[in-house]
Structure 1
Amino acid sequence: MTLSRRRFIALSACAAVAGPTCASPSTSVWRGRALGAEVVVSLRGANERDIWRLGQRIAAQLDRLESALSLHRASELVRLNETGLLAHPSPFIAEMIALSDRLHATTGGAFDPTVQSAWLAQAQGRRTDVPFGWSKIDRDRGIRLPEGMALTFNGVAQGYAADLLAELIREAGYQDVVVDAGEIVAMGQGLPVDIVGDDDRVLRQIVLRDRCIATSSPRATLIGPDAAPHIFHPDGRSIRWRTVSVAASSAAVADGLSTAFCLMQEHEITETLTQWPDASLVLRT
């Protein structure tokens, strides 16, 4: 079985839009969507009834996650961005804030979820001199944003979703599992993974075993009338790399680091990795 950066290579042609499919006599696949990405879970040792029940739990968890972090439906994050206040953030938001704190600090500010207002301005072809800066968020009583500021956790949320699902499935008793929620978690048997660049060319293949991997390519998606890279920083720092892949024990950590590393020089990446000893740079081009 081989997985690409953003695409699960199906084990069976009989895929459903959401729900379980039988991929082989010993492997089952569940498919759905969350946070703008296809979600595919492959596991061995589950019968049809088991995978259906587990799929119901997966779908419920993804729905809770969307209700907290989505930018495309009514969610806590949308409410925060619209009103500037979230008095009682859910554990999902609290965990995103805590992880973002550490990523922001260890990447010299390259990871900054306050890019959302600038991202929207860029996508709409407007001026991008909008409020930003992670340190400007007030967290004394809930979460308060300065006027005009908005957050996005898209630089880490897909990895976080993969981690949550892997934990759910592990607690259900399965050990040989692959979760692809835009970033990949592989538990158990080693899995070949293709790292694909922004031109859909395979740059490298690695074997992932009890590990997670995330890949970021700023020009894989272009936004706005100027076709700007979708990964950028509102302070104007330059993109340094076309494609970056990071492996770690957490897909959320790998996701956040791969996003930030696109904007960081080589010596900065090396320094950051000393503060994340479980993470490793797999590829940068």
Structure 2
Amino acid sequence: MSLSRRRFIAISAAFAAATPAKATAIHQWRGVALGADASITLAHADAEAIVARALREISRLEAIFSLHDPNSALVRLNTAGRLDHPPFELLECLSTAGAVHAASGGRFDPTIQPLWALYAEHISAGQMPDAASLATVMGRIGWSRLRIDAAAIEMQPGMALSLNGIAQGYIADKVAALLRAEGLHDVLINTGEFVALGGHPQGGDWPVSLSDGQTVTPDAVHLRDGALASSSPHAITFDASGTVSHILDPQTGAPAPAHWRLITVTAPTAALADALSTACCLMDQDAITATLAAFPRASLAFAS
């Protein structure tokens, strides 16, 4: 598959150059979560042990949401079309997905996975999907075709879910919940999307610089006790030329147009911000405003 691996979203926290005397040094772990660059930043005497607990939580959640682990709950659901006694975390994440689906007029739809697979297959063979193939796959997409309750999640034949537009944010939220329950504060969690517990250990907010993978925005977004997520429609593309966006419209089957370079949303949770930023890539300004209005504490932090 000739999927261009240009950096999807390069978002980094900017830190003060020096640590004040007698202050606990800032500790930052860097790694990968669900295929995205990840980090946890804090100033604490037990920072390494805290990070180790956070990483165990990330690993536990990846076993639910990964599309690449054959034993994950999501892959088992996609393979069988049904998952009995689904994990609470999967149900909770799908609940947020459903709320954003409704508010966005269907532009956010995790049942998009068969369409994504169609584009990947055809473009790796050097051609765009033909109309007949698109029509067939579009018949397998639709949130209303999904049945969700605590006993089972069930899909119609040929359907599959991708939670790539929400799971990274959800994992950040769960790590934040774990650390918050331990009484921790002034921590920045980045699993591809961000959650700030409190502010920067050296004072002030967490300054988060935004980039679409090519350029960095001149001003940082200042984050405190909240979450932030970004989407860049053409930072990952199916083709080497960078024209066929990885964000696909579940209503038309078409890739996101080159309308937005970068969308950043802040919200109470990273899962909500993640899903909203993805959906907004398919909207004009008026539709973005209307969608965000459904979530009073969500706001558009950056759009270009």
TM-score by length of 2: 0.81
Instruction: Give the C-alpha shift of residue 211 in structure 1.
Output: 2.0
In structure 2, stretches of 5+ residues that fail to align are 1-8, 16-22, 123-128, 200-204
SS at match of 2:30: strand
* Letter paired with 2:234: R
CA separation of 1:6 and 1:168: change in aligned 2, threshold 3 A = farther
* Letter paired with 1:62: I
Corresponding residue of 2:58: 62
CA contact (8 A) 2:238 2:246 kept: yes
Output the CA distance in 2 between the equivalents of 1:226 and 1:169.
42
Equivalent residue in structure 1 for 2:134, among 128, 134, 138: 128
Instruction: Give the C-alpha shift of residue 7 in structure 1.
Output: 4.2
1:280 lines up with 2:299 in the alignment: yes
CA contact (8 A) 1:29 1:40 kept: yes
Corresponding residue of 1:42: 41
* Letter paired with 2:158: G
% identical aligned pairs:
39
CA separation of 1:139 and 1:162: change in aligned 2, threshold 3 A = closer
Question: How many pairs are equivalent?
Answer: 268
Matches of residues 125-164 of structure 1 in structure 2 within 5 Å?
Answer: 125=122, 126=129, 127-129=133-135, 130=137, 131-139=140-148, 141-164=151-174
User: After TM superposition, what 4+ stretches of structure 1 lie above 6 angstroms from structure 2?
Assistant: none
Corresponding residue of 1:253: 272
Output the CA distance in 1 between the equivalents of 2:215 and 2:102.
32
Instruction: Give the C-alpha shift of residue 87 in structure 1.
Output: 1.1
Question: Aligned-pair RMSD on alpha carbons?
Answer: 2.3
Output the CA distance in 1 between the equivalents of 2:148 and 2:266.
31
Q: Which moved more, 1:109-118 or 1:215-224?
A: 215-224
Higher relative contact order (CA 8 A, sep 6+): 2
Instruction: Give the C-alpha shift of residue 173 in structure 1.
Output: 2.1
1:233 lines up with 2:258 in the alignment: no
SS at match of 1:275: coil
Residue-by-residue CA offset, 1:140-186 (whole Å, 9 max, x unaligned): 65111111111011101111111111111122222111111101112
Equivalent residue in structure 2 for 1:83, among 80, 84, 87: 80
Output the CA distance in 1 between the equivalents of 2:301 and 2:14.
24
SS at match of 2:248: coil
Instruction: Give the C-alpha shift of residue 32 in structure 1.
Output: 3.1
Larger strand proportion of the pair:
1
Output the CA distance in 2 between the equivalents of 1:242 and 1:111.
18
Output the CA distance in 2 between the equivalents of 1:86 and 1:172.
32
Equivalent residue in structure 2 for 1:98, among 92, 95, 99: 95
CA separation of 1:107 and 1:55: change in aligned 2, threshold 3 A = same
Corresponding residue of 1:173: 183
Output the CA distance in 1 between the equivalents of 2:268 and 2:189.
13
Corresponding residue of 2:208: 193
Output the CA distance in 1 between the equivalents of 2:210 and 2:240.
29
Output the CA distance in 2 between the equivalents of 1:282 and 1:211.
12
Corresponding residue of 1:31: 30
TM-score by length of 1: 0.86
Corresponding residue of 2:20: none
Instruction: Give the C-alpha shift of residue 188 in structure 1.
Output: 2.1
CA contact (8 A) 1:8 1:40 kept: no
CA separation of 1:9 and 1:254: change in aligned 2, threshold 3 A = closer
CA contact (8 A) 2:65 2:73 kept: yes
Corresponding residue of 1:267: 286
In structure 1, stretches of 5+ residues that fail to align are 12-23
